[in-house]
Amino acid sequence: MEDSIDLQRESLNKLIPESGSDDTSSSDEVNGLPTSSDGADDVSLINSEDLNSSLLKSDPGGTNKSDQTKNDETDSNDDQRIVLSGGVELEEVQETVKVYNNVKQALLEVETTDESQLILDKIKRDSQYSSDTECESRDADSELEDIQLEFRSKYPQLQIPYSDELCVKIIPYLDIVYDILSGVVTSMYYTRAKRAAMDSKKAFLSAEDFRNLDINLFTAGYFGLRRQLKVGNIIYEKFRDELARSKSPKIQWWGPIDFANYVLAPEVLVSFVLDTCQNKRSVQLTSRQDVYELFDNTTYYGNTVTDNEPLESWELSRKKRKYGPTNNQKTHKTRKKKS
pLDDT of residue 283: 62
- In b/e form, how buried is each residue of 37-59, taking b as 16+ CB within 10 angstroms? eeeeeeeeeeeeeeeeeeebeee
- What pLDDT, on a 0 to 100 scale, did the predictor assign at position 45? 39
Q: Is 183 a domain residue?
A: yes
> Average pLDDT for residues 98-104, to the nearest whole number?
78
**Backbone phi, then psi, for 220, in 5-degree steps?**
-85, 55
Q: Is the pLDDT of residue 299 over 70?
A: yes
* Confidence class for position 234, pLDDT limits 50, 70, 90: very high
Judged against a pLDDT cut of 90, whether residue 258 lies above it is answered with: yes
Shared-domain flag, residues 186 and 291 = yes
Question: Average pLDDT for residues 283-302, to the nearest whole number?
Answer: 89
- 2 located within any domain: no
Specify whether 272 is located in the same domain as 177: yes
- Give the pLDDT score at 59: 47
Question: Is position 24 within any domain?
Answer: no
Same structural domain, 206 and 239: yes
pLDDT at residue 229 is higher than 80 = yes
Query: What's the rounded mean pLDDT across residues 240-264?
Result: 94
Residue 314 and residue 193 share a domain: no
Residues 171 and 183 reside in one and the same domain: yes
pTM: 0.55
Q: Left, alpha or beta for 20 (phi > 0: left; psi -120 to 50: alpha)?
A: left
Q: Are residues 190 and 248 in the same domain?
A: yes
- d(CA 156, CA 126) in angstroms, rounded, equals 43
Residue of 211, 214, 168 lying closest to 189 (CA atoms):
214
pLDDT, average across residues 101-125: 65
Asked if residue 40 lies in contact with residue 55, where contact means CB atoms within 8 angstroms, the answer is no
DSSP class of residue 86 equals: T
Same domain, 220 and 331: no
Q: What is the pLDDT of residue 327?
A: 47
239 and 334 belong to one structural domain: no
- Is 135 a domain residue? no
Domain assignment present for 184? yes
Cβ(253)–Cβ(265) below 8 Å? no
Residue 106 belongs to some domain of the structure: no
Mean pLDDT on 200-210:
89
Task: Residue 228: count other Cβ atoms within 10 Å of its Cβ.
Answer: 25
Examine the domain organization and report whether 168 and 302 are in the same domain: yes
What is the rounded distance in angstroms from the CA atom of residue 331 to the CA atom of residue 308? 15
Domain extent for 330: 309-339
Q: Are 68 and 56 in contact (CB under 8 A)?
A: yes
Tell me if 338 sits within 8 A of 328, measured CB to CB. Answer: no
Least confident range from 26-30, 182-186, 320-324: namely 26-30
Residue 312 DSSP class? S
Burial of residue 276 (CB within 10 Å: 0-12, 13-18, 19+) is: middle
Q: What SS3 class is residue 67?
A: helix
List, as one string, the DSSP characters of 22-41: -HHHHHHHHTT----HHHHH
The per-residue pLDDT for range 35-74, each reduced to its tens digit, is 444 444 444 333 444 434 444 444 444 445 455 555 555 5
Number of structural domains, the chain? 2
Q: Are 326 and 319 in contact (CB under 8 A)?
A: yes
- DSSP secondary structure letters along 113-179: S-HHHHHHHHHHHHHHHHHHHHHHHHHHHHHHHHHHHHHHHH-TT-----HHHHHHHTGGGTTHHHH
184 with 199, same domain: the answer is yes
Q: Name the residue with higher pLDDT: 91 or 185.
A: 185
Pair 321, 188 in one domain: no
Give whole-number Cα distances, 331 to 118, 123, 192, 322, in Å: 47, 38, 35, 19
Q: Are 228 and 290 members of one domain?
A: yes
In a domain, 113, yes or no: no
Does residue 134 lie in a domain region? no
